[in-house]
Amino acid sequence: MPTGAPFGGPPQQPGYPPQGPPGQQPLGQFGGPQPGYPGQPGQQPPPFGQPPQAGPAQQAALMNKLQSVVSINRLEYFYPPQRLQDVVAKLQRVDFRALGQQWRMPAEMAYDLAALALYDIVIFADDSGSMVFEENGERIQDLKMILGKVAEVATLFDDDGILIRFMNSNVQGNGIRDATSANTLVGQVNFNGLTPLGLKLNEKVVQPFLAAGVQQRNLQKPILVIVITDGEPSGEPNGTVAQTIKMAKALVANSPYGPGAVALEFAQVGKDQKAQAFLGSLDNDPEIGKMVDATSYYELEADEYARKGVTLTPELWLVKLMVGAVDPSYDSQD
């Protein structure tokens, strides 16, 4: 990452989906607790270490998955064959069978999460006033859960952790690796103000990380930006988000890194219909829709998947949120 994006630091024990405090709902928008859902009291993550199934078959499956992600997103500049081999070798430490069991999905689907090993991850979080005042504050709990799970899953594949930036607050998270650190960070934020999503996304993410990295030619990995918001933009001209997306893509498309050097995911917390319509307009735009993935709140996404004969569990909703921008198979289902 460019200067000011301090990935790195002492490795921590990689985690599975975080174990929440007793009685805590994993996602307010999901309703009641899900049986066997990661985070319920009494569950312990399986021992971490060299997985028993690690071997030629797993290595081949991971190589096929990552080669596909590299090819689809045109990441060859970052991942020539030897570097990709090195990434796959490091992934042999991950017990994908246990990860799949913890997330209630086949190990083969858990391999999809390995795509995160190819990216530096920046989460851009909405901290506007509506996050507090709407839905009894559940949106903030959802935000905490998402930040924690993304941090811990990403740390399975890369000890650097993730970066977190907030739309209005100057509080910053660098090298966040677990749910506890994510929750502590959110606790430092005063949620208030409007939703100048496009302006602040440019100011706090695109310019310091992407534009600076392109200018200084020091991007070590492509960047996955996950934007988490509860409402449509306000406090900025219409179309600002679209302009920011186009600018971000143009920055890398006109560089040696190529257009895949940035991937953008927009995810909704809460059930605000205007936010839903805004995300839908991005996803369905003939130009912008090819540049981003958008994930609506869980119940709506589950309904859309069901119409295609696919059951979307809360865990798979989180997987889509994490890899939907880099794995088109998830975007094509909704």
Structure confidence by residue, pLDDT tens digits, 94-114: 999 999 998 888 888 899 999
Q: Give the pLDDT confidence of 20-59 residue by residue, as tens digits.
A: 333 333 344 433 333 333 333 333 333 333 444 567 888 8
Residue 233 inside a domain? The answer is yes
How far does CA 97 lie from the centroid of its chain? 21
Q: Is the residue at 7 inside a domain?
A: no
Q: What residues make up the domain containing 272? A: 118-331
Residue 31 in any domain: the answer is: no
- Within a domain: 42: no
In a domain, 84, yes or no: no
Domain contains 161:
yes
Domains of the chain: total = 1
Q: What's the CATH number where 238 sits?
A: 3.40.50.410
Query: For residue 220, what are the CA distances in angstroms to 3, 31, 119, 217, 329?
Result: 11, 40, 9, 9, 26
Residues in CB range of 170: below 8 A, 6 or more apart: none
Residue 33 inside a domain? The answer is no
Residues 166, 170, 171: CA angle, nearest 5 degrees: 75
Is residue 221, in this structure, part of any structural domain at all? yes
Could you give the 3-state DSSP secondary structure of residue 258? coil
pLDDT value for 21: 34
pTM: 0.84
Give the residues of the chain that fall short of pLDDT 70.
1-54, 331-334
Report the pLDDT value the prediction gives residue 16, as an integer from 0 to 100: 34
Contact 241, 198 (CB under 8 A): yes
